[in-house]
Amino acid sequence: MGAAKADLEWHGSTLLYRAAAVLARTVDGPVVVVAAPGQALPELPDGVTVVEDPVEGLGPMQGLAAGLAAVADRAETAFVCSTDLPFLHPAYVRRVLRALTGDYDVALPVARGFRQPLAAAYRTRIAGLVADLLAQGNQRPGMIFKHCAVLQLDDAALLDDALLAKLDPELDSVVNVNTPEEYTAARDREPPEIIVERFGALAKGGGHRPNPVRAATVGAAAQAVGLTLDRHIVAAVNGDQVTKDGRLPLVAGDSVAFLSADAGG
Amino acid sequence: MAPGGLFGRALVVDIGDRDATGTRLELDDQVLRAYLGGVGLGTWLLHRLAPPRVDPLAPDAPLAFVFSSLVGTPLTTSAKFAVVAKSPLTGLLTDALASSQFAIAGKLTGHDAIVIRGRAAELSVLLIDGDGPRLEPAPELAGLSAAEAETQARQRFGRGWRTAAIGPAGERGVRYATISHDGRHAGRGGLGAVLGAKNIKAVLVKSATKVAVADQQGVLQAARDLRKRSFGPATAKYRELGTLANLLAFNAVSTLPTRNFTAATFEGAPKLAAEELHELRGVARNSCASCSIGCEHIYARKGGGSQRMEYENVFALGPLCGVDDPDDVFAASARCDELGIDTISAGGTIAWAMECAEKGLLDAPWLRFGDGAALLRALDEIGERRPGLGELLAHGSRRAAELVGHGSIDFAAQVKGLEMPGYEPRSLQSMALGLAVNARGADHNRSGAYEADLSGDVDRFAGGSAHVAAAVDTEDRAAVMDSMILCKFLRGVFEDPFTEWARLLALVTGWDLDADELHATARRIVRAKRAFNLREGATAADDTLPTRMLETPLELGSGRSAALSADRLRTMVSGYYVARGLDEQGRVEPADLADLLLDP
């Protein structure tokens, strides 16, 4: 690829920034990035923390062990993904997390014909099991599934979720980029269609009414309606956090509200 | 010699059965500089003149109209005054600001404050001019709205008098009655009931003197500069759509309290939005006296007439009660104006009652969320204190919940007895702290901590130390603006507020103020308010939010939820105490009491 996947440019930020930000806006708990020892990471969204693999070169199993252990005291379940999923959609994350019920340890999508251990949900209690397997020389995530209760989710099961079926019908959430060509093709895709609304003094000419635009980030959405995020103008995606971060990724179905930073009486 | 812009004295009016006597209370330079005027000086006056634990509706309870050095200068938005008393709603300090020519005429009676005590034998008006106070019986004004009373008083006493009056709700002791003047209201905390308990329908003031400022040319130049800045982008929101612009924006970010705080988005919000109403109904824009912003937006009512609409009255009488018909909300707002009651407390109390009725805790099957006719009927019953529901709700949601019981206090949306404004604390957690600790109770004017939540600089769903700092900072800024007094809608035009305010005050008074001194002044005023409340029986247990806000997560438009636990709020409150230099029970440290200058 010519660069670490985490560093690959993505609409003004990086693939890693996008993945971390999508998870941060989707889940209530902590978001942790697992880095190789000494790995320099690109900038991350506020609130995202980093833990390092204790040993280099043991692949995703090591990352999984370190990540699950890092959040085990704060969360019972964790969504685990690789950094190279440029179309990961919050609806997919929610669908997979919601499937992890009862005694299951893993909700494992089998999407687009492949098992997706790096776009799956895990009980954090299996962090020890993963570490033990690793210590025994097992570096393939598939080994985990032989030792715990796994719920497999095929395309049909995933798309049972009406919202996911509407917003990511092809399950592009699990599309990853492993070659320069795949990266270029992904980068060249048309940005998702989202809805923009402007309020208060920004709403001249009916701007408060829903306005569909194509934009991959909040900054691009602002630009599409002639705004620039600054200390006077902020945004909120789907009524969630108020932000001035133009790099915040958008996905199909998002609604972005732009309002004056001096909102209030 | 008094500082520029000030007289160095207050007039204390004692009302007897049929007369009124005035006594001068000298205000020395140290006190005036320490408290500035407005809310600050009013707090000091209440410490000095209110007997400890006095019943707010007793004759002995003082009611203070307080001006400032800036009143009467050409500085934009400075024609304001504070009304300060012990609140019949909270039992604690309350202060309300209002803008009108009353401020200028009241000050130019020759006093920095007018304090009223006592009780007349019959409904009367109090007149104050250069000759002092006098009482005139006015039984013919009984039952009139404040606006009608103002008109009749002017007809009777002639031109030149400026009037502050109460509506029928104030006469009848509704605990959230307002004092009105020129269509503006000193709205929160039941000040109208305090005046009504003195049997005073209206206070009339007439200018009798002048007062010089320290640097006339400097003030004129500063006034020109401030006026120019008041036309800039920092006030565009107020100018273009008014505060009602908040409604649709707050709905979009899940912080529009709906159906008694059971939701934070309202499906009917677009029908009530300024953006829509401005196109369909907007007819006029107006300004307070001496104001160049012009935030007042007046909308046409179906069938004739017009009504001034603000975010807070639309929120409280609309989404909070589940009402989405703008004409119902317009009518309810107009009814509140006629009765002379605070729209926030009225809406908050009725929303609580609607929930009680739907849960079978109140025998009022007609009172349902979303029913505009029921809202109007409830307002009428409150205004008349009609036996049963009207009498119950006239006491506000906290007292009503205590009477109804069955855990209804858990969903009475109030703090310290004052109904909550239109800021959802679970999705604005800096504001949650501001609402919990403020001396006046749930309040968006003495704490504007929502600014931090809506700035994008803090995680508005996870209150912590950054939120504490934001709450303290905004409370300090409000303390100074409310005491000097300038309208808070100007706040955005100041790049370096404390420095710029110190300069303005220096030009007017001649004091060699700087930003550091004003920061200390802000802290003093906040502490003095707290000290008054502690004296009146408040404790750290009052610095909290209703159980609903602390135990029930809020569903957001994004599909996530926002929760504010009692533990998280307690941690923030403790952080606030530390930042304010209070002890762990929220008490003012003995070493700081001397700085409050409260000893006679």
Q: Which domains does chain B have, with CATH numbers?
A: 9-205 (3.60.9.10), 238-419 (1.10.569.10), 425-596 (1.10.599.10)
Q: Which residues contact B583 (CB under 8 A, 6 or more apart)?
A: B577, B589
Overall average pLDDT of the A211-236 stretch: 93
Q: Which residues fall within 8 angstroms of residue A241, CB to CB, at 6 or more apart?
A: A25, B456, B459, B460, B461
The three-state (H, E, C) secondary structure of chain A, written as one string: CCCCHHHCEECCEEHHHHHHHHHHCCCCCCCEEEECCCCCCCCCCCCCEEEECCCCCCHHHHHHHHHHHHHCCCCCEEEEECCCCCCCCHHHHHHHHHHCCCCCCEEEEEECCEECCCEEEEEHHHHHHHHHHHHCCCCCHHHHHHCCCEEEEEHHHHHCCHHHHHHCCCCHHHCCCCCHHHHHHHHHCCCCEEEEEECHHHCCCCCCCCEEEECCEHHHHHHHCCCCCCCCEEEEECCCCEECCCCCECCCCCEEEEEECCCCC
d(CA A18, CA B479): 43
| Partner-chain contact B559 A197, CB within 8 Å | no
Query: Which pLDDT score, from 0 to 100, does residue B239 have?
Result: 86
Which positions 215-254 of B are in contact with A (Cβ < 8 Å)? 233-234, 236-237, 240-241, 243, 245-246, 248-250, 252-254
Contact A229, A196 (CB under 8 A): no
Contact B454 A264 (CB under 8 A): yes
Indicate if the pLDDT at residue A56 is higher than 90: no
Q: Are residues B188 and B443 in contact, defined by beta-carbon separation less than 8 angstroms?
A: yes
| Structure token pair of residue B551 | 């135990």
CATH class of A191-260: alpha beta
Residue of B nearest to A27 (CA): B560
Name the β-bridge partners of B136: B125
Q: What is the ipTM of this complex?
A: 0.85
Task: Sort out which chain B residues have CB atoms less than 8 A from A245's CB and list them.
Answer: 456
Alpha-carbon distance B497 to B479, whole Å? 12
Q: Count how many Cα atoms sit within 13 Å of the Cα of residue B147 in the half-sphere of its side chain.
A: 11
For residue B328, give how far its alpha carbon lies from the nearest alpha carbon of chain A (Å).
Answer: 22
CB contact under 8 A, A199 and B459: no
Q: Is B429 on the interface with A (CB under 8 A)?
A: no
**Which chain A residue is nearest to residue B235, measuring alpha carbons?**
A262
A94 vs B contacts (CB less than 8 Å): 559
Partner B, chain A 186-245, Cβ-Cβ below 8 Å: 197, 199-201, 203-204, 206, 208, 231-232, 234-245
Paired tokens of A192: 């998702």
Q: Which two structure tokens, joined as six digits, stand for A123?
A: 């009980």
Contact list in B for residue A264 (CB cut-off 8 A) is 246, 423, 444, 448, 450-451, 454
**Nearest C-alpha in A relative to B240:** A201
> How far is B449 from B34, CA to CA, in rounded Å?
24
Interface of B with A in 466-525 (CB under 8 A): 492
Is residue B14 a contact partner of residue B118, using CB atoms and an 8 Å limit? Answer: yes
Q: Is B82 helix (H, G, I), strand (E, B) or coil?
A: strand
CB B8 within 8 A of CB B26: yes
Whether CATH 3.40.30.10 fits A5-183: no
Question: Which residue ranges does chain A devote to CATH 3.90.550.10?
Answer: 5-183
Task: Please answer yes or no on whether A241 and B312 come within 8 Å at the CB atom.
Answer: no
* Closest by Cβ to B249, choosing from A46, A199, A231: A199
Beta-carbon contacts below 8 Å between A and B = 119
Put simply, the answer to whether B252 touches A239 (Cβ < 8 Å) is yes
With beta carbons under 8 A apart, name residues in chain A contacting B234: 262
pLDDT at position B304 is 85
Give CA–CA dist B270/A209, Å, rounded.
9
Element of type H or E holding B22: strand B20-26
Task: Name the β-bridge partners of B66.
Answer: B82, B113
Q: What is the SS3 assignment for B177? A: strand
B561/A239 Cβ within 8 A = no
Please write the tens of the pLDDT for every residue from A176-207.
999 999 999 999 999 999 999 999 888 877 77
Handedness of CA B137, B140, B144, B148 (dihedral sign): negative
Q: Which tens digits make up the pLDDT trace of A17-37?
A: 999 999 999 998 899 999 998
| Contact status, residue B56 vs residue B86, Cβ threshold 8 Å | yes
For B296, the 3-state DSSP assignment is: strand
C-beta of residue B61 within 8 angstroms of C-beta of residue B505:
no
B453 and A201 in contact by Cβ < 8 A?
A: no
User: For residues B490 and B77, is the Cβ–Cβ distance under 8 A?
Assistant: yes
Tokens of B335: 């009814």
Instruction: State which residue of chain B sits closest to A229, comparing Cα positions.
Output: B456
Alpha helices (runs of H) in B166-287, residue ranges in sequence order = 168-171, 191-197, 216-229, 236-240, 246-252, 269-272, 274-280
Test B455 with A199 for CB contact under 8 angstroms.
Answer: no
Which residue in B241, B273, B423 is closest to A201 by CB distance? B241
Q: Where are the beta strands (DSSP E) in B104-237?
A: 113-118, 124-129, 132-137, 162-165, 179-181, 184-186, 200-205
pLDDT given at position A1: 65
Report pTM.
0.93
Question: What does the pLDDT look like over B149-172, one tens digit per residue?
Answer: 999 999 999 989 999 999 999 999
Strand order in the sheet with B20-26: B20-26, B9-15, B113-118, B63-66, B80-86, B93-99
User: What value does the mean pLDDT of chain A take?
Assistant: 93
Name chain B contacts of A244, Cβ cutoff 8 Å.
455-457
User: Has residue A265 got a pLDDT over 70?
Assistant: no
Interatomic CA distance for residues A43 and B91, integer angstroms: 52
User: Which residues 129-168 of chain B have a CB within 8 Å of chain A?
Assistant: none
List, in order, residues 6 or more apart from B158 with CB less than 8 Å away.
none
Whether A262 shows a pLDDT value over 80: the answer reads no
Instruction: Enumerate the CATH 3.10.20.30 domain ranges in chain A, comma separated.
Output: 191-260
Question: Hey, what are B158's tokens?
Answer: 């002639």
Q: How far is CA B161 from the centre of its chain?
A: 24
Calpha distance B325→B337 (Å, rounded): 19
Query: CB A142: neighbour CB atoms within 10 A?
Result: 11
Give me the residues of chain B with pLDDT under 70, please. Answer: none
What are the tens digits of pLDDT across the range B134-154? 999 999 999 999 999 999 999
Q: Count Cβ neighbours within 10 Å for each residue of B440-451 and write b for 16 or more, e otherwise.
A: bbbbbbbbbbbb
- Whose CA is closest to B472, among B521, B430, B515, B514? B430
